[in-house]
Amino acid sequence: MPDTHAVPVSTAEDESNSVFSHEDGGSSGDDATHQDGPASSGKKRKRERYQKTSCELCKARKVKCDRAEPACSWCARHNRTCVYLERQKPGSRVGFTLELETKVNRVDALLQTLWRRVEDHIANDHGAQSQILSPAVSNHALVQMDGFAQDAPGPRPPGTCRATSIQQPRGPAFSSPSWQGRDGSENAQPSAPSVTSAPSQSLPSAGAESLTPPSRLDSGRSGSTSLSGGTDFPPQDIVYTLVDLYFKNCNTWCPILDRKTTFGTFFGSTSLSEVDRILLHAIVATTLRFLKDARLSSAMRSHHYAVSKHKVMIYAMEHASIEAQRALVILALDELGTSNGPRGWNLLSVLVQNIKQLDLCEESSIYLSADAGDVPSTGSIRRVVVPQPDSWIEDESRRRLCWVVYLLDRYATIATTKFDFMLEEFKMKRLLPCSYDLFSRNVPVETGSLRTDADHPGSSGYTVNKPENLGSFSYHCQVLKIISKIHEFLKRPVNVTSSAEMSAWRNAYRSLDSALDNWLQSLPSEYSRISALCHSDPASRVANWFMLHSAYVTAVVRLHSSAAYPTVRSHIFVPSYYAMQRCLSAVQSLRDITQDVYEANGLDLVGPPFAFALWIAARLLIVHAATVGCPVDPKIDFFIDILGYVGQYWEVANTYARILARVVRRERQGVASFGGMRKSAHNLVNLTAATRQTGLDKTSSHPVALNELDNIDVFDFFNFPKILSLESTSQNGQTEVYHVQGLVNMGSDASRDGAAPDPESDWLGY
């Protein structure tokens, strides 16, 4: 059995995507000057003794290390690998360099703000006087102003500051969401882990913020369009922080944008176009949840969120373009991270349909081009609406855009268990994306080639030709392909009374299990120790490593829970010991890696798919208790607490935590057993599956309580395999549907003696 804790990890490709700067635990100094004599030798030895570097774990934790050999006392006490690295030569550290670069970029952005405001003042406020001035004088004035903007920061030019008004909020207030703890209190919310923000030294004072002049974000020239006034965006330095937070907290696992290109577009020397402003609005709406700046009140956050979201939605509805889809995808992260409900489904359906209409799910080689005046308003417009990509970054970003829509569709669909994928598998004819660092270099690379699966004509697979060019997102896309096959496999009903059909089901099950094992074995060797890397080097804490592991756990539980905890039972279909161990091992693996993420203060870096994996793992512990007849594993309290932490950023995790807390509390208080809850959920789902045969058949309404809906949310995900209904025709001609006696299994038989399945009689034959 493969080790499910062999955690998939990303290579250094993604370190450029999200990197934490940190201070060294020790300081590097010059080597001791050689001196003759016993006294100098003693001093040298003493100096070398105290100059010994701290171990890497103590550096990361920023605590004093006793520097013991072979392991310091902390590492020995916590059974951690103690690593001593040679002292680096004097020079700038990587973290310091990144911090300095951030400060320089912020100062540059503020200078651009001043220059654009001065330019507006000259062009608009003094237009009449500007017409009187001669061209030479005007040019001389502009040169003087340009020189001022390029010099070191100085006092603001007089007459360039104006207070900005704050409108009333038009959207929901951004407050820390509460979740219901195990004691039933709505305010039982753990404290949030610290969020690292940009250096405060480079920010203007809060009191002076109201006088910050509108930046280039509020002006549109050189062919761009001004969308609205100065209250559309937060202050310039806050916008810069929000864009930086997007690349740290979202783009790591939704990598559709290149950091360098995006910052150059938003904070460069040219004015923003309309599509750039729409993309920036999407980033603002999605990343306000991570901002810890006290200058933005709840009302201001609500205002900026509502304005940005509205502008993106209106623009995306009126423009079928790649740029509009990028903004809509980023906004979809906000919607699907809030609730997996109708609004998210509607947004996702628009995205999928536009991806199809724009042919972004195929590797196009020929693009038609036409003048704007020659394009008719007919069906042929879709042939020319997408231009040829002008760079490798643009070509690869389109590929990544399609794969992210594929990712969102997969997670949203498997959460419902019943729906079909909006982006059909046979339409997905895209090559795997390359690693992020290769994407950023703007140098074309190869990952694989397309092929047609022999066993599924019309569907498109791929062959990996250059595995060295793959990154964590590439492997995430691969495992999502397997999850898609698992979802389709489980949706097909099976006749559990037929030995032939059960044999075919078992063979398909084994094939998918083998596919997961092969995927795990295909990962590079350095992908197997995410826990050690997370603790030994804070600079390597990249969120998509954790997201990749959570995707693997989701796939394992999705497949093996159908055999480990089936809702039906026959003489050949009983809970499998092998499948049960695979599920429990995957849950333990996720618990361990989540502990590492928590200790590294990285819970703000993981997205809704990670919360979904936690939600699956916690529910599996409940289903296991219902099937075996034992108390629920205490690990479920850990998962509920972690979901509460993640819920401070993504509200959907809050919802998961509240449901789990209510279900566990009802069982611990003796209100209902897990087995009874699962049976109630099964009966309600079967009741709502009933359909009318004619339009004259009567309909009825069945009242349902909150606890019954909780049961469906927890147990319906594990209502597999789907059995083939047996129909018969009664004397009155009506068709009746019934199940074979004894097929329904809600854990009552297995829980009589509280025993787990016998590994010697495993029907899967492993």
How far is 518 from 508, CA to CA, in rounded Å?
Answer: 15
Could you give the dihedral angle defined by the CA atoms of residues 624, 626, 629 and 634, in that order, rounded to the nearest 10 degrees? Answer: 60
Q: Strand, coil or helix: what is 634? A: coil
Q: Are 254 and 607 in contact (CB under 8 A)?
A: yes
How far is 291 from 272, CA to CA, in rounded Å?
Answer: 23
Residue bearing tokens 């909020």: 169
How far is 343 from 359, CA to CA, in rounded Å?
Answer: 25
**What are the b/e assignments for 491-529, b being 16+ CB within 10 Å?**
eeebbbbeeeebeebbebbeebbebbeebbeebeeebbe
Instruction: Report the candidate in 531, 528, 527, 526 with the shortest Cα–Cα distance to residue 597.
Output: 531
Q: What is the pLDDT of residues 96-152, one digit of tens each?
A: 666 677 778 778 777 777 776 776 666 565 444 334 333 333 333 333 333 333 333
How far is 206 from 655, CA to CA, in rounded Å?
Answer: 35
Alpha-carbon dihedral sign for residues 263, 264, 266, 268: positive
Q: Are 607 and 650 in contact (CB under 8 A)?
A: yes
Instruction: Report the candidate in 216, 214, 245 with the shortest Cα–Cα distance to residue 102.
Output: 245
Q: What is the pLDDT of residues 177-199, one digit of tens each?
A: 344 443 333 333 333 333 333 33
Residue 541 CB partners (closer than 8 Å, separation 6+): 18, 20, 534, 600, 602, 605
Residue by residue, DSSP assigns 649-701 as T-HHHHHHHHHHHHHHHHHHTTS--HHHHHHHHHHHHHHHT---SSTTS----
Q: Are 626 and 679 in contact (CB under 8 A)?
A: no
DSSP 727: E
Residue 680 tokens, joined: 């109630």
Residue 488 tokens, joined: 């389709």
List of the chain residues with pLDDT < 70:
1-52, 88-99, 116, 119-231, 371-379, 382, 452-460, 526-529, 531-542, 569-572, 725-755, 765-766
Work out the number of other CB atoms within 10 angstroms of the CB of residue 99: 17
Please classify residue 660 by burial: count the beta carbons closer than 10 Å to its beta carbon, then call 0-12 exposed, 13-18 middle and 19+ buried: buried
Residue bearing tokens 């140098």: 443
Instruction: Report the candidate in 4, 10, 20 with the shortest Cα–Cα distance to residue 548.
Output: 10
Which phi and psi (to 5°) does residue 600 adopt? -90, 10
Instruction: Report the candidate in 41, 88, 85, 79 with the shortest Cα–Cα distance to residue 67.
Output: 85
HSE, CB side, 13 Å, CA atoms: give it for residue 79.
Answer: 1
Is the bond preceding residue 721 a cis peptide, omega within 30 degrees? yes
Q: What is the pLDDT of residue 542?
A: 66
How far is 403 from 382, CA to CA, in rounded Å?
Answer: 21
In this structure, the strands spanning 448-452 and 460-464 are antiparallel
Residue by residue, DSSP assigns 143-212 as HHHHHHHHSS--PPPTT---PPP-PPP-S----PPP---TTS-TT--PPPPP-----GGGSPPSTTGGGP
Which phi and psi (to 5°) does residue 727 adopt? -115, 150
Which phi and psi (to 5°) does residue 479 adopt? -70, -30
How far is 582 from 446, CA to CA, in rounded Å?
Answer: 35
Q: What is the pLDDT of residue 523?
A: 86
Residue 503 CB partners (closer than 8 Å, separation 6+): none
Segments in 250-384 forming alpha helices (H): 259-267, 274-287, 298-318, 322-338, 342-357
Total-model pTM? 0.72
Q: Are 14 and 435 in contact (CB under 8 A)?
A: yes
- List the beta bridge partners of residue 460: 452
Q: What is the pLDDT of residue 184?
A: 39
Q: Which amino acid is at 572?
A: I
